[in-house]
Amino acid sequence: MTIFDHGFARVTGAVPVLKLADPAFNAQATIGLLTSAAADGATLVVFPELGLCGYSVDDLVQQDALLDACLDGLRAIVDASRGLAPVAVVGVPLVVGDGLYNCGVVVHDGVILGVVPKSYLPNYREFYEQRLFAAARDAPTNVATVLGQHVPFGADLIFTANDLPGFNLHVEICEDGWVPIPPSTWAAMAGATVLVNLSGSPVTVGKESYRKALCTSHSAKLSAAYVYVAAGFGESTTDLAWDGDALIAENGSLLARSEPFAIADQTITADIDLDRLAQERRRMISMRDQVGDYASDLKQLRRIGFDLNPTPVATLRRDVARFPYVPAGVVDRDLRCREVGNIQVQGLAARLRATGIEKIVIGVSGGLDSTLALLVAVDTFDLLGLPRTNIHAYTMPGFATGDASLRRAHELMSSLGVSATELDIRPSCLQMLADLDHPFAKGEKVYDVTFENVQAGERTSHLFRLANHLGGIVLGTGDLSELALGWCTYGVGDQMSHYNVNSSVPKTLIQHLIRWMIGASEATGNVTGASEATGNVTGASEATENVTGVSEATGGATSRRYSEATAATLREILDDVISPELIPPGEDGSIQSTEDTVGPYALHDFFLYYLTRFGYRPSKVAFLAEHAWSPDYDRATIEKWLRVFLKRFMANQFKRTAMPNGPKIGSGGSLSPRGDWRSPSDASVRAWLEELDSPKTAP
């Protein structure tokens, strides 16, 4: 399958070096870049405003000789496009009727599909386009004759590829994108997904950052892709400078950007995700409501269909993060971790305030999840001015609890200054196993699901009764990844609590959060983890600024400071194998590994994100995972664990339907039945597994 079968479209922004007022030269430069982009598998190539003559030709644009030369250059481009897959959008001045218009000409396979005149002509500061051009609204016709072809003419055109679902192109020109309601806004509400802007924008201090903000926010607001291409080297420097800024944005994210001030031809390319845009729009009911408000006007926009016939491309030209819940950049990751911590602390603080309860009961295993929940509890009590001794932490060794885990639990509780107790659950578990007439109670080494769940259930039962006894609430520790896989004991097990601060935090993010907490407590110390390929990351202390704790970020009086004993214990926890420690070690000493049983959390979190956040077909999720995780995981391994994920995810909805309250953390969503995820507990997984075995493209 090609990237187009998975709903992607390769788009290119091209900034050729031009010769001012030399359309013949500029046409050849345009053809060269178009041909190269076609060989690279592009479906769309966008060029700058008035790229055939140059934006800064000023009054020369009204000279017949130059206009004739522009038509000759356009003819050369149209002829050269024959047999090429990409749609090209070229900036040309054109006479239509009695007016001269600043146009974007849409060319494909030897045909002009349409011509889009500029709607809003700037006439302030260094701009005086109203001196030169007529605006789109002033055109007395909606059809133009260009190079002998009668073609649609107007700012109301949407170009739709019949053979690439979701590829609906709209063109606007420079100032059109800077006005309060750009023409592309109406086009997007009418179904346009790929919005392009041919620009002649000169550069001034601060303009680059403003362009980025404008384009990314516009793409986010409209759930669209936005391709912006500005004029570059070769424009007149009489009074201005030009940086050749080109960028590709998608739904608020910047996918690609040109190098500023290049003095050679330059292109940028990215594969935009049409499926993602379609999914976002289906979910944005408020956008659909506004579409309904203006339905009669939107129906007036004209749609021009064409067959794109894209060149097959197998390799994706797009960054796909291995850890979609975790920002890749160190500074962004620090900010995300701080924000997650703030949300968790605020949620727990609000619950304690609302109930008037000032005590927490928590089970501490010495593993990742309970460690994060305990750290959040400590930060919350510090923020509220409550003594840490009101946090009643219990480590409850069972039949398979390792000495290292038990030691870490004690060290963590002791170093944090909470009320710490060891409560051995083995006697009560033996009593229950005996009541069940289980073979283990008779001395047999039978480690079945009953054996495991008796321990998990006994721990939770103790915690709830302790909460009754102490007048507190049970703080849950289970995370989003475990809820997705159903890797939790239902009802009286670790699935249940009074409040769960980790319920929408995936396992991969928990690792980053704890590393960040260590780094934040050490302020300027360096805390470095293993390579990201293994699921571990570099600590937050690598950020250039001094990072302080959650309470300081929210305006509190204190900032997080862990003792060296706490930090050392946290590092050990991060480096250990993820295990429920419910089955004793094997004869070879190997301990029970969660990831050996259900698969790597790094992959499962990846699957979870794309299946629940975007609703992608399993074959597309596998395609993205292969792109992100190669060579660490091959396609066969990815599909193996994806099948495990799909089966477990669908089969364990009943556990999520009864999950306790907890704060939603990120836009990746939560699985709360009261929020992001509402699903029947008895749905079949068949359709998803069959699609993975026999991939289908979008209709």
Domain residue extents for the chain:
9-306, 330-521+563-587+596-693
Q: What sign does the CA torsion over 375, 379, 380, 386 have?
A: positive
Could you list the residues known to form a binding site for ATP, using ranges: 363-370, 477
Distances (CA, A) of 111 to 163, 307, 440, 511: 17, 12, 79, 55
Q: Which residue has the tokens 């596998």?
A: 622
Catalytic residues: 49, 118, 174
Task: Provide the pLDDT for residue 537.
Answer: 34
Question: Residue 172: CB partners within 8 Å, gap ≥ 6?
Answer: 104, 116, 118, 119, 155, 182, 183, 184, 195, 196, 197, 198
Mean pLDDT, consecutive 10-residue stretches, the chain (699 aa), reads 94 97 98 98 98 95 97 98 97 96 98 98 88 95 96 98 97 96 97 97 90 96 97 91 95 96 96 96 91 93 96 93 90 91 97 98 96 97 97 97 94 97 97 97 96 96 97 97 95 92 95 89 42 34 34 40 91 91 86 91 97 95 97 97 98 96 87 92 96 78
Provide the pLDDT for residue 535.
37
- Non-local (6+) Cβ contacts of 156 within 8 A are 142, 183, 186, 187, 300, 301, 302
Total-model pTM: 0.89
283-315 pLDDT tens trace: 888 998 999 999 999 999 999 999 999 999 999
pLDDT reported for residue 664: 94
Cα 281–Cα 120–Cα 173 angle in degrees, nearest 5: 60
Binding site membership for deamido-NAD(+): which residues? 453, 482, 487-490, 655
The residues facing 273 across adjacent strands are 8
At 45 the pLDDT is: 98
Report the distance separating Cα 606 and Cα 291, nearest Å: 33
Regarding beta strands 157-161 and 360-363, do their DSSP bridges make them parallel or antiparallel, or are they unpaired?
unpaired
For 471, list phi and psi in degrees, rounded to 5: 75, 40
> How many whole angstroms separate alpha carbon 78 and alpha carbon 454?
74
Cβ atoms 135, 106 nearer than 8 A: no
Residue 480 and residue 505 in contact, taking contact as beta carbons nearer than 8 Å: yes
What radius of gyration, in Å, describes the C-alpha atoms of the chain?
A: 30
pLDDT of residue 698: 54
Under CATH, domain 9-306 is a member of which superfamily?
A: Carbon-nitrogen hydrolase (3.60.110.10)
Q: Where are the beta strands (DSSP E) in 99-257?
A: 99-108, 111-117, 143-146, 149-152, 157-161, 168-173, 194-198, 225-229, 246-250, 253-257
**Interacting residues of 280 by C-beta distance below 8 A, sequence separation 6+:** 223, 251
Annotated binding-site residues read 124, 201, 207, 363-370, 453, 477, 482, 487-490, 655
Instruction: Check if CATH label 3.40.50.300 holds for domain 330-521+563-587+596-693.
Output: no
